Amino acid sequence: ESRGWSQLWLDYESKFAASGVANGTERKIVIECSDFDRNNRVIKSAVSELNRAFADATKEVKISFVRNEKIAAQGYKVGNIIGGSLNKPQDGDGFIIEASDENGLLYGTFHLIREKLMGRDYPDISVSCAPSNPLRMMNHWDNMDGSIERGYSGRSFFYANDEIIVDDRTVDYARFMASIGINGIVINNVNVKWAATDLITTRFFDKVKELSDIFEDYGIKLYLSLNFAAPIELGGLPICDPLDEQVKQWWKNKIKEVYDHLPNLGGFLVKADSEGRPGPFTYGRTQADGANMLGDIIAPYGGIIIWRCFVYNCTQDWRDTKTDRARAGYDYFKGLDGQYHDNVILQIKNGPMDFQIREPISPLLGGLTQTNQMLEVQIAQEYTGHQIDLCYLIPMFKEILGFKTYCKSDNDTVADVVSGRTMGNKLAGMAAVINTGNDYNWTGNDLAAANLYGFGRLSFDTELSAEEIAREWVKLTFNLEQELEDKLVDMLLRSREIYEKYTSPLGIGWMVTPGDHYGPSVDGYEYSRWGTYHRADHLGLGVDRTDKGTGYAQQYYPQNAEMYNDPHKCPENLLLFFHHIPYTWKLSSGQSLIQYIYDSHFEGYEEARKLADEWKSFEGKVPERAYNCISHRFDLQVNNAHEWCDQVNSYFYRKSGIADEKGREIF
């Protein structure tokens, strides 16, 4: 613990201790590879990782790295050479890792290590694996003053006081990311302000290069978020119109300068015309004009432009029922389909609003059929409990990936679209707004690391189930007997629905405390400018987004549009997102809507208490620090669930005047 940060799922030392094997006594790891590979920076990292992970081996273990052109980029094969016992290495044990490139060799290495740490002892290993997505990215919303936008795990480990931090923690971070298959990291907040605008200047090049080099050792490309107004703020130009010749020239010079200093930069992420950020709209230009201008300039360097689609009117009037924030992404971007250049990729949030506990899938995903696109999800628990409340998000991500868009007759799920399978495009993938900070455990709540681990694994292999990922993470993180392992996996798997039950009902979202987004405030956003309304009155609630309402449902392909448009066909967990429904409406369960609201809230609160109670059986079974941290958070979660339950139920009881059939206390 002297390091000041944990080793997360790569905690070799504690695994050795648990298995009773002393660290490092007679270990003999023999690595076989070509001389060419021996000097490769990524393979050096793999070798150093193997040396650490097999430090408990008392007999010789031989590991061979082999290049095999037939294996997909960044994919790998792992198998036995001889013997092949991972956990009790015998004389002459050995494994072979084959891949076409060094990243694949590194991922194969981590596969082998993962199996070993999970205590699996295959007599015969034979796996092949190719990544589902070409781009597997983490987006940091870290600011250079050390704060983190929507961060719930301490301060930034990249920045403090407008300086960049590079230390041993940076290396561990890169190891963790590589171990779960991440190959791209955006190191600064999408809201690029103040010192962050200077990341593309000599003020920071040297330090960014140091970071980029560390990432490079682990097969990860560094990306920067860009301030679209940099020509004004850095260049002193009067405008940042993307079609202006002077502006273009400024960017040409700037990007050349950037690549002179940061030759391995992956490219830029851009939040433009969104929530007060500058963008092409100011000059009457389109989003494509902005993205393509940068794309063309960065293309000669092999860079890409990741352009976010989170563009909407954030100064709406709540009295206006025709303007619908949910429509905005599609309205702004769909018409430009096919106009984006090849090295531009649109990054699309999973839902049309903003990372609520339940939303429909953004109709832009698959709605665009001639544009590179990637999925953006949020593992930072902004609306899902601030890493206080337990909320394992992988089940949600699985639903998103599995959604059938109907954009083609086959290969039409979101997983197909964002992996590039649907359109055959190479620039495709998944990104997550990361949940880390400089807390000892990296994620505030130790259990929130399941989302960090899980996103990486899922983006690498979208076929893995939420349960498989949860189980891997639990096995790698703790040393639990089977019964407790099963229990923790089960707690994780139930947690999202529990959170959903005690917060806002049936997909309507947003009943959170404005600004901070933790805890209930049913009307907190009801009369605000943000376009986030539930429209409750004394008869019912929900937003009519059908063809008779805002027309949002019509943005989907016909099969889905018809389903969402009809309250009898609409999935009930999204009913209030698409329809304004009377409290007396009968759900398929036979409950009225109002009774469902009462029941689900009482249940959600009860189930949160049960989670907290179940956690008590982990005392003495996980490290004390983790036990106490998690216990404390469960206490807070129970309070939170209590507030949500009472406030939501009271609110709707007072609005509707309809009593709870079960006569429970509602205030």
Residues that bind ligand GCU (CB under 6 A): 149-150, 190-191, 271, 274-275, 310, 354, 382
Comparison of 274 and 413: residue with beta carbon closer to ligand GCU? 274
| Residue closer to ligand GCU, measured from CB, 312 or 615 | 312
CA distance 235 to 241: 13
DSSP state string for 460-525: H-TTS-HHHHHHHHHHHH----HHHHHHHHHHHHHHHHHHHHHSSSTT----BPTTT--SB-TTTT
Burial state string for 344-354 with b = 16 or more CB within 10 A and e = fewer than 16: bbbbbbbbbbb
Closer residue to ligand GCU, CB minimum distance, 116 or 150: 150
Nearer to ligand GCU, 190 or 561 (CB): 190
Other CB atoms within 10 A of residue 537 CB: 10
Work out the angle at residue 500's Cα, subtended by the Cα atoms of residues 497 and 504, and round it to the nearest 5 degrees. Answer: 160
Question: Which CB atom, from 310 or from 502, has the smaller least distance to ligand GCU?
Answer: 310
Quote the CA–CA distance of 285 and 239 in Å, as a whole number: 13
- Please list the residues that pair with 540 across neighbouring strands: 582
Cβ-contact 488, 480 below 8 angstroms: yes
Among 249, 254, 248, 252, residue whose Cα is nearest residue 234: 254
Supply 236's token pair: 């002193």
Which tokens is 224 given?
């920067």
Two structure tokens written together for 398: 């699985």
Tell me the one-letter amino acid at 189.
N
Indicate the residue among 150 and 475 with the shorter CB distance to ligand GCU: 150
At 382, phi and psi to the nearest 5? Answer: -60, -55
Nearer to ligand GCU, 241 or 382 (CB): 382
* C-alpha span between 306 and 137 (Å, rounded): 11
Shortest reach from residue 139's CB to ligand GCU, in Å: 9
Q: Phi-psi bin for 374: left (phi > 0), alpha (psi -120 to 50), beta? A: beta
Distance CA 95, CA 64 (A): 6
Distances (CA, A) of 234 to 43, 143, 145, 651: 39, 18, 19, 50
How many angstroms separate the CA atoms of 361 and 353, rounded? 10
Q: Checking phi first, is residue 30 left (phi over 0); if not, alpha (psi -120 to 50) or beta? A: beta
- Of 203, 184, 201, 194, which is closest to residue 265 (Cα–Cα)? 184
Nearer to ligand GCU, 56 or 376 (CB): 376
Task: Give 79 or 279: the residue with its C-beta nearer to ligand GCU.
Answer: 279
- AA identity, residue 612: A
Give the length of the chain. 667
Which residues, other chains included, contact 559 with Cβ-Cβ below 8 Å and sequence gap of 6+? 404, 406
What number of helices (H) and strands (E) belong to the chain?
Answer: 19, 17
CB of 275 to ligand GCU, least distance (A): 6
Catalytic residues: 275, 354, 382
| Whether the Cβ atoms of residue 327 and residue 552 lie closer than 8 Å to each other | yes
- Cα separation, 613 vs 420, whole angstroms: 44
Rounded to a whole number of angstroms, the minimum distance from the CB of residue 203 to ligand GCU is 24
CB 81 within 8 A of CB 96: yes
Q: How far is the CB of 190 from ligand GCU (least distance, A)?
A: 5
User: Minimum CB separation from ligand GCU for residue 376, in Å?
Assistant: 8
Q: Is the CB of 378 or the CB of 555 nearer to ligand GCU? A: 378
Could you give the 3-state DSSP secondary structure of residue 307? strand
Q: What is the largest CA-CA distance in the chain?
A: 78
Rounded Cα distance, 549 and 223, in Å: 41
| Residue 499 near residue 509, CB atoms below 8 Å | no
Give me the least distance between CB of 611 and ligand GCU, in Å please: 26
Q: What is the CA radius of gyration of the chain?
A: 25
Residue with Cβ nearer ligand GCU (525 or 605): 525
Shortest Cβ distance from residue 191 to ligand GCU (Å)?
Answer: 5
**By C-beta, is 205 or 310 nearer to ligand GCU?**
310
Q: Which of 591, 613, 605, 616 is nearest to 649 (CA)?
A: 605
Minimum CB–partner distance for residue 95 and ligand GCU (Å)? 42
Q: What angle do CA 456, 464, 5 make, to 5 degrees?
A: 30
Residue 659 DSSP symbol: P
Cα 295 to Cα 185, 235, 255, 256, 290: the distances in Å are 19, 19, 11, 13, 9
- Residue 377 beta carbon to ligand GCU: minimum distance, rounded to whole angstroms: 11
CA–CA separation, 106 and 264 (whole Å): 19
What is the smallest separation between the CB atom of 354 and ligand GCU, expressed in angstroms?
A: 5
Least distance (Å) between residue 568 CB and ligand GCU: 33
> Least distance in Å: CB of 566 to ligand GCU?
31
